[in-house]
């Protein structure tokens, strides 16, 4: 049997390989979280992308196939809220069938997960990450701004575990003055459950969330809150480029993570590319502009031409926004998180 040809992985200007791909399947969401889609900017009159401007499932699958030729092995579906995209299990099945995709995952707010978990698992989804910003209804409802209770998300987590979509990661964005009091209760709830709780510093993604540095609860503060009650020990990363710093409970109660883009930037190991729902490729979460892949797809570009374009874009990449963050960069008109996922 002939040897399989290994992909020639492109490296950017800082020597970072392309490894992970995040694909937004919709810019719509059924929540209005204050740090992502605040209601004053995403109200009833907000113009979402027309369906014709979204990449089709076939276009997404074709792009993923080309990305695997560049070394991408991990693909994550995001949004907006990906589960509001109709027939999403069909896309999951297409992506799961691509030989180079070794890890196919989904980030969701969990509101619709109880309904979809079993069919997603059957289609080939491997794991899910669920967003939950507090474990008490008053705080969580204030954060999501549509009145969704905690129980709805917890039911989704249970359904995902039953369907085999585990171990579950739970993401909590911590914003000062809103939910920092929920850090320890969240840690207490998920200790010993095999669900890995990850605390995320409030980030200046996009331009609509009114980000201020004094609203950031830093990783050091979070670790002090949790570790003061449940002693913690650092853990090594599971793979190069992992964004979460890992800590285990000293008594064996599992682990937590902190994602500290603001206070402890990890640009130096970033290996992620992001494709928006309308086919723009972004090489940084804090990007101000993207590269139009949809036009290439719809203008008849061959797979070889797509691969050459992707290789050139990544090879020219020099992004390190979090390491350079300043008062000037914070005010740049960056792409919204709801547009390209987290």
Which range, 35-39, 147-151, 320-324, has the best average confidence (pLDDT)?
Answer: 147-151
Please check whether residue 156 is in contact with residue 43, taking contact to mean a CB–CB distance below 8 angstroms.
Answer: no
- State mean pLDDT over 284-299: 94
pTM for this entry: 0.94
Answer yes or no: is pLDDT of 3 > 70. Answer: no
- State mean pLDDT over 239-249: 88
How many whole angstroms separate alpha carbon 270 and alpha carbon 314? 12
Residue with tokens 């967003």: 131
- State mean pLDDT over 261-283: 93
Higher pLDDT, 189 or 1: 189
- State mean pLDDT over 37-54: 93
* Closest C-alpha among 46, 14, 48 to residue 266: 14
Binning pLDDT at 50, 70 and 90, where does residue 192 land? very high
Please check whether residue 198 is in contact with residue 171, taking contact to mean a CB–CB distance below 8 angstroms.
Answer: yes
Given the DSSP bridges, would you call strands 272-275 and 280-282 parallel, antiparallel or unpaired?
A: antiparallel
Share of the chain above pLDDT 70, in %: 98
- pLDDT tens digits for range 203-234: 888 888 888 989 999 999 999 999 999 999 99
State residue 329's pLDDT score.
79
How many whole angstroms separate alpha carbon 173 and alpha carbon 144? 11
State residue 341's pLDDT score.
78
- State mean pLDDT over 317-339: 82
| Chain-centroid distance, C-alpha 325 | 20
Binning pLDDT at 50, 70 and 90, where does residue 332 land? confident
State residue 310's pLDDT score.
98
Phi, psi dihedral angles at 225 (to 5 degrees): -60, -50
Mean per-residue pLDDT over the chain, rounded = 94
State residue 272's pLDDT score.
95
- pLDDT tens digits for range 88-115: 999 999 999 999 999 999 999 999 999 9
State residue 1's pLDDT score.
39
State residue 6's pLDDT score.
76
- State mean pLDDT over 245-261: 96
- State mean pLDDT over 278-296: 94
How many whole angstroms separate alpha carbon 260 and alpha carbon 258? 6
Show the domains of the chain with their CATH numbers.
Answer: 20-340 (3.20.20.70)
State residue 2's pLDDT score.
45
State residue 4's pLDDT score.
56
Given the DSSP bridges, would you call strands 20-24 and 74-78 parallel, antiparallel or unpaired?
A: parallel
């Amino acid at each position: 049997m002939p040897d399989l040809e290994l992909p020639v992985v492109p490296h950017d200007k800082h020597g970072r390989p392309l490894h992970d791909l995040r694909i937004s399947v919709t810019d719509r969401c059924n929540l209005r979280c204050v740090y992502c889609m605040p209601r004053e900017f995403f109200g009833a009159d907000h113009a979402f992308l027309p369906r014709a401007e979204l990449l089709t499932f076939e276009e997404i699958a074709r792009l993923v196939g080309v990305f695997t030729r560049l070394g991408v092995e991990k693909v994550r579906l995001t949004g907006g809220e990906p589960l509001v995209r109709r027939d999403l299990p069909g896309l999951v099945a297409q992506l799961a069938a691509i030989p180079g995709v070794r890890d196919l995952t989904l980030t969701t707010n969990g509101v619709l997960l109880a309904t979809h978990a079993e069919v997603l698992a059957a289609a080939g989804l491997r794991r899910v990450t669920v967003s939950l910003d507090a474990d008490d209804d008053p705080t969580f409802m204030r954060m999501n701004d549509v009145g969704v209770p905690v129980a709805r998300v917890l039911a989704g987590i249970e359904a995902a575990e039953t369907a085999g979509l585990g171990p579950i990661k739970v993401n909590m964005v911590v914003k000062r003055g809103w939910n920092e009091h929920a850090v320890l209760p969240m840690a207490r709830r998920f200790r010993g459950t095999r669900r890995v709780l990850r605390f995320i510093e409030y980030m200046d993604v996009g331009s609509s969330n009114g980000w201020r540095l004094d609203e950031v609860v830093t990783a050091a503060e979070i670790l002090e809150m949790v570790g003061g009650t449940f002693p913690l020990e650092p853990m090594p990363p599971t793979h190069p480029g992992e964004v979460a710093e890992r800590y285990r409970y000293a008594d064996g109660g599992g682990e937590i993570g902190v994602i500290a883009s603001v206070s402890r930037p990890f640009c130096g190991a970033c290996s992620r590319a992001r494709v928006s729902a309308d086919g723009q490729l972004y090489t940084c979460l804090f990007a101000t502009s993207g590269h139009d892949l949809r036009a290439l797809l719809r203008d008849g570009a061959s797979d070889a031409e797509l691969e050459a374009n992707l290789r050139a874009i990544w090879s020219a990449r020099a992004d390190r926004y979090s390491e350079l963050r300043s008062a000037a960069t914070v005010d740049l008109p960056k792409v919204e998180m709801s547009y390209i996922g987290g």
